[in-house]
Amino acid sequence: MNSEPGLLPVGPSVGWNVVHLFCRLRASNDERAGSPDGTQWRAGEVLEAIERARKSDHQIVTAAMIGHKADLCVLGLGPDLSVLRSLQTDLRQAGLEVVDSYVSLTEISEYASGVPEEMKQARLYPVLPPDGMPAFCFYPMSKRRSPGAENWYRLPYDDRLKLMHAHGAVGREFRGRVLQLVTGSTGLDDYEWGVTLFGVHPDDLKDCVYRMRFDEGSAVYAEFGPFYTGIVGDAEDVLHRLGVA
């Protein structure tokens, strides 16, 4: 692990830190700007920021976002939170405005303790992005705590385990079409999990989320936050899509 100079590494005892940074291009009046909107010269600085994080043993995934919520997603994951903090600072100084973000950790769910060791390692230390899956979406979610019957945390463990196994069975129907990364954020961000989906086609993501909402674990107990959708690519290609490289 290559931590930032002068900073002690900060990370979980098991697994990795994860941050989703949703950014918007910010215009500049700087005379160095190489294009009318003031963003062209910043492309090189964004690429340098990403490369610095990668050289510090962190994975960086970039996606050109669709819609008004953001222009760019920079997904960083790795062992040292200070590296991800520096990445965020470097992107801001390169002319990007972080308009939304999500902080979480890779984890092994309490309902997945019996999975093979290989699967556990893939969840704790994933290799991203997956090949051949350029469609991307992210959303946060929590389990309901309603005072009445819809309180996930009042259910006995065996009942929750049964519901989660049924939920997982639906997800496995999309193996080869969708890769799912579920990261834990209880105590770290506004929801309890962050869900990142990579798909072969955009409708693979749509079909997967639609189908999974019908199982009881989601239909009765799930609450969803905002969805972000984009196209995964190399950083240079993503910036080219944004018209700044």
Whichever domain contains 211, its CATH number is 3.30.70.1030
Asked if residue 192 is part of any domain, the answer here is yes
pLDDT band per the 50, 70, 90 thresholds, residue 165: confident
Select the more confidently predicted residue: 166 or 7.
166
pLDDT band per the 50, 70, 90 thresholds, residue 101: very high
pLDDT at 4: 55
Q: Is 139 a catalytic residue?
A: yes
User: What range defines the domain where residue 187 resides?
Assistant: 125-231
Asked if residue 73 is part of any domain, the answer here is no
Contact 179, 130 (CB under 8 A): yes
Q: For the segment 32-87, what is each residue's pLDDT rounded down to a tens digit? A: 444 444 444 478 899 999 999 999 999 999 999 999 999 999 999 999 999 999 99
Number of domains in the chain: 1
Nearest to 228 by CA among 202, 208, 192, 207: 202
Kind of pairing between the strands at 193-199 and 228-233: unpaired
The token pair at 128 is: 């991203």
pLDDT band per the 50, 70, 90 thresholds, residue 6: low
Asked whether residue 115 carries a pLDDT value surpassing 90, the answer given is: no
- What DSSP letter does each residue of 50-75 carry, written as one string? HHHHHHTT-EEEEEEEESSS-SEEEE
Asked if residue 81 is part of any domain, the answer here is no
Asked if residue 17 is part of any domain, the answer here is no
pLDDT band per the 50, 70, 90 thresholds, residue 31: very low
Asked if residue 49 is part of any domain, the answer here is no
pLDDT at 3: 56
Lowest-confidence region among 68-82, 111-125, 179-193, 195-209: 111-125
CB environment 60-77: b (16+ within 10 A), e (fewer): bbbbbbeeebbbbbbbbb
3-state helix, strand, coil in the chain (%, to 5): 30, 30, 40
CA atoms within 13 A on the CB side of 55: 8
Select the more confidently predicted residue: 194 or 154.
194
Asked if residue 60 is part of any domain, the answer here is no
Catalytic pick among 139, 191, 221, 228 = 139
Asked if residue 157 is part of any domain, the answer here is yes
Asked if residue 37 is part of any domain, the answer here is no
